Amino acid sequence: MDLKKYHNKSVRVRTDEEIYEGVAVFNDKDDFEEEFDSLSIKTDIGWSNVLELEIKSIEII
């Protein structure tokens, strides 16, 4: 999944357990020395980080 295209976009991200809505910031796995790319999503209650493998669906809203 190409998460870069969601950078600085308002998104709705679904995982098995949660639905996140807010502005997404792309986190490249190489920049953060992680195994997977991720999105940090600014929601009404703060920031949430969702790994690429956790994402079941994503849409721009």
The arithmetic mean of pLDDT across residues 1-28, rounded, is 98
CATH number of the domain within which 46 lies: 2.30.30.100
Cα 48 from Cα 33, distance rounded (Å): 18
Share of the chain above pLDDT 90, in %: 95
pTM of the model: 0.89
pLDDT level of residue 23 (50, 70, 90 thresholds): very high
The model's pLDDT over 34-54, given as tens digits with 9 standing for 90+, comes to 999 999 999 999 999 999 999
**Arithmetic mean of pLDDT over the chain:** 97
- Total tally of structural domains belonging to the chain: 1
Which domain, by its residues, includes 55? 3-60
